[in-house]
Amino acid sequence: MLNLDRPETQFVIHIVRQASRLVKLVQAEMISPALTKDDRSPVTVADFASQALVGKALAENFPDDPLVGEEDSTDLRSPAGQLTLEQISHFVSKFTPDATPDKVCEWIDRGAEQPAARFWTLDPIDGTKGFLRGDQYAVALALLVDGLVQVGVLGCPNLTKGYQSEVGGAGTLAVAVRGEGAWVTSLESESDTLRQAFVSNTADPAQARLLR
């Protein structure tokens, strides 16, 4: 059974929910039919905003734990990055009102730390192509101790609990804890019950569903 009293489990479920809601908002507000194929600004904003939110929360809850992410704020601090930084700060401030451009850069740079015996690793948006076309993507965060994943969470905003694609729905949160199994629940509803997840017994690839 999943132990929801463990601080790390509580933390990762809460912050992945928040980060998933944030990037879902970016997707809804910045992606439109007029978006050109080469315009990656929405995923850039969402990537940085997601990492900033997680970096801030980790500093507040587990200040001694390093975070290994994908981004740093070097380009955002340059004159050419100011507009993007303003957009990132705008979205982050919807979830943490004390966000300023300088603070957002500090929170992002928490993800530039080095792995240690105990550290967190973040993929702020796993599936950038899916994100840009308004389809499947995930926010992924895990805690590793001595090289072993102890807890990992995926926030999937456009996936139902029945593993169907549903843009704008409640989404799915998947949680795995070492020794406690894997579980899924609603991304949006914090009162929704957790149900255990199992590996599919489908052996024929023709009978399997491919999400991309």
Measured CA to CA in angstroms, residue 49 lies from 9, 22, 35, 122 at distances of 22, 8, 20, 12
Instruction: Give me the pLDDT at residue 145, please.
Output: 98
From the candidates 128, 135, 160, 192, give the one annotated as an active-site residue. 128
The answer to whether residue 146 is catalytic is no
> Assign residue 165 a region: left if phi > 0, alpha if psi is -120 to 50, beta otherwise?
beta
> Is residue 79 in a domain?
yes
Tally of structural domains, the chain? 1
Q: Which of 47, 109, 123, 172 is catalytic?
A: 47
pLDDT value, residue 161: 67
Range of the domain at 28: 7-198
Judged against a pLDDT cut of 90, whether residue 200 lies above it is answered with no
Q: Report if residue 205 sits inside a domain.
A: no
- Indicate the pLDDT class of residue 36, thresholds 50, 70 and 90: very low
67 vs 171, which has greater pLDDT?
67
What is the CATH number for 178? 3.30.540.10
Q: Is there a domain that residue 131 lies in?
A: yes
**pTM for the model:** 0.88
Q: Does the pLDDT value for residue 38 go beyond 60?
A: no
Given a cut of 70, is residue 10 above it in pLDDT? Answer: yes
- Within a domain: 203: no
| Residue 128 annotated as catalytic | yes
| pLDDT tens string 56-99 | 999 999 999 999 998 899 999 999 999 999 999 999 999 999 99
Cβ contacts of 139 within 8 Å, gap of 6 or more: 16, 19, 20, 23, 50, 123, 124, 125, 126, 154, 155
Q: Is residue 124 part of a domain?
A: yes
Looking at every residue in the chain, the average pLDDT score rounds to 88
The dihedral of CA 160, 4, 195, 208: what is its sign? positive
Is the pLDDT at 23 greater than 70? The verdict is yes
